[in-house]
Amino acid sequence: MKILFYNGSLRMGGAEKILVEILNGLDKKDKEIDLLISDNVLDENFFEKELPKEIKLNYLISSDLIEKTKFYKSRKKNIFYKIMYNYYMRKEQKEKTINLAKVLKDKKYDVVVDFDMGLSKNIDLVDAKKRIAWIHSPIDSWYRKNDKIKRLGERLKKYNTLVTICDDMKEKTEKLYPFLKGKLVRIYNPFDIEKIQDQSKDLSEITEEKRVLLKDDYIISVGRLDNYSKDYYTLLKGFKGAKGRGLTEKLYILGEGEERRLIESWIDELDLKNDVILLGKYRNPYPWIKNAKLFVHSSRFEGLPTVLIEALICGVPVISSDCPTGPKEILLDGKIGKLYTIGDYKTLSDEICMLVKNRGKYEEYRKLSFKRAQDFRKEISNKLIEDVLQRGINDTNQ
C-alpha cells in the first residue's frame, strides 16, 4: 500500500506529536509511506528525528522564505511591513503549490492522509484512490465568516473519510455539514502510556538550576503562549484569586509563543512576579507535569487537548475550562476532573482551592485519572487507524 501523509510542520505541537505517534504505530511491512511537510523551519523541526527511518520526507517551503515571512510578520503593525508580509505569504503559497506538483509528478497513491487539512486547496494534485482528512479542532473556531465555512465544506466533499478526534467534534461537524455524515469517524489520538511514564522520570533536558523548581509545590499549565485560544488572562486571574485565599503553590506555565510579553505584562499587573514562572519550551514536558500538584487548562476552544490526557497519564488531577471540544469528554462530564465555564476566573479560583485543600477528592481524582487514560492507549487507536486506511481502498474518489 502506498500512502502519502501531509502536515503543515514538524514543530513542537499537539497535532505534530500525534502525527509522529501515528506514523511510528503503523505496520510498515506492507506499506510505502511518503511524508510531505509544508514548512521547513530547520531548528524548529523538533519531531523530524522521531520519524520512522522507512518514511521518505519532503519539505515544500524553504526555510529562507519562511524566515523572511516571519521577519515581516513580527513588524506588520507598520503598513510597509504589512504589505511585505502579505507579499511573502502569497509567495509561500505559490512555492508550496509549485513544489507540491513537482514532488507528486507521476506518483500514484492508494491513500492520501491530509493530517491538518492544509492540502484541501490542492487535493486534486494528488493521484490517490482514497482521500482522508483529519479534523483536530471545531471548524467553526477556525473561521468567523460563514462563506469561508461554506467553501471549506465544498472542499471536504472531495474526501472519502474524515476523522474527528472526539465524539463532540464529530457531532458538531455533522451539524455544520450534514452532507458529510456518512464519511465521519471518530478516532482518539493514540498515546504511548508506558513511554510517557518513562519520559516523566527523565530529567536530562532540565538544567541543574531548573531542577530546583521541580521540588517546589506548584500548579502547571501547558500550551502555546497565545491568549486568544488559551485564555491565559483568565488563568492568571483565577490563580490570583486563589493566592488571595491562602494558596501557597506557584503557577508554572510551560510553552512559548508570540504573546510572551503580553502575558508577562499581566503577571506584573496582577503582582504575581514572584508566583508565576514562564518555563519556556521543552521537548519533554512530562517531568514538569508529573511533579505538579494540579494541571489547569484554560482554553477557549480545543480539539482533543493532548495535554489533558498526558496529565491523566501522569496521575495529576485536572481543572479545565468547559470549552469546545474535548475537555468534557475526556473528564467524563466532570466525574474525574473539574470543569468551569470559559472565562469564569472566580469559579476557577474556587476549584483550585477546593482540590488543593480537599485531600480525599484530590486522591480520588488521581486514581480515576490514570484509569481514564487507558481509553486512549495507542493500541486501541492504531487498530482503528489501520482499519480506516484499508477500508474501501478500491473505491473511486467521490
In the chain, domain spans: 2-190+378-390, 193-376
Q: CA-CA distances (angstroms) from residue 341 to 46, 191, 301?
A: 34, 28, 12
- What are the tens digits of pLDDT across the range 38-65? 999 998 898 999 999 999 999 999 999 9
Percent helix, percent strand, percent coil in the chain, to nearest 5: 50, 20, 35
Cell numbers found for residue 97: 503549490
Q: Which percentage of the chain shows pLDDT scores above 90? A: 88
- What are the tens digits of pLDDT across the range 241-277? 999 999 999 999 999 998 999 999 999 999 999 999 9
Assigned CATH topology for domain 2-190+378-390? Rossmann fold (3.40.50)
Cell numbers found for residue 294: 494540579
Would the CATH topology of 2-190+378-390 be identical to that of 193-376? yes
Q: How many CA atoms, within 13 angstroms, populate the side-chain half-sphere of residue 187? A: 29
Cα–Cα distance measured from residue 347 to residue 333, given in angstroms and rounded to the nearest whole number:
16
- What are the tens digits of pLDDT across the range 292-328? 999 999 999 888 899 999 999 999 999 999 998 999 9
Cα–Cα distance measured from residue 156 to residue 183, given in angstroms and rounded to the nearest whole number:
10
> Where does the pLDDT of residue 398 fall: very low under 50, low under 70, confident under 90, or very high at 90 and above?
very low
Residue 364 has pLDDT above 80, yes or no: yes
* Residue type present at position 158: K
CATH value of 193-376 in 3.40.50.2000, 3.40.190.10, 3.90.120.10, 3.75.10.20: 3.40.50.2000
Task: Enumerate residues 6+ apart whose C-beta is below 8 A from 56.
Answer: 33, 34, 35
Cα–Cα distance measured from residue 138 to residue 43, given in angstroms and rounded to the nearest whole number:
30
Residue 370 has pLDDT above 90, yes or no: no
With contact defined as beta carbons under 8 Å apart, do 96 and 60 qualify? yes
Cα–Cα distance measured from residue 35 to residue 104, given in angstroms and rounded to the nearest whole number:
11
**Predicted local distance difference test score (pLDDT) of residue 359:** 92
Cα–Cα distance measured from residue 328 to residue 301, given in angstroms and rounded to the nearest whole number:
12
* pTM of the predicted protein model: 0.85
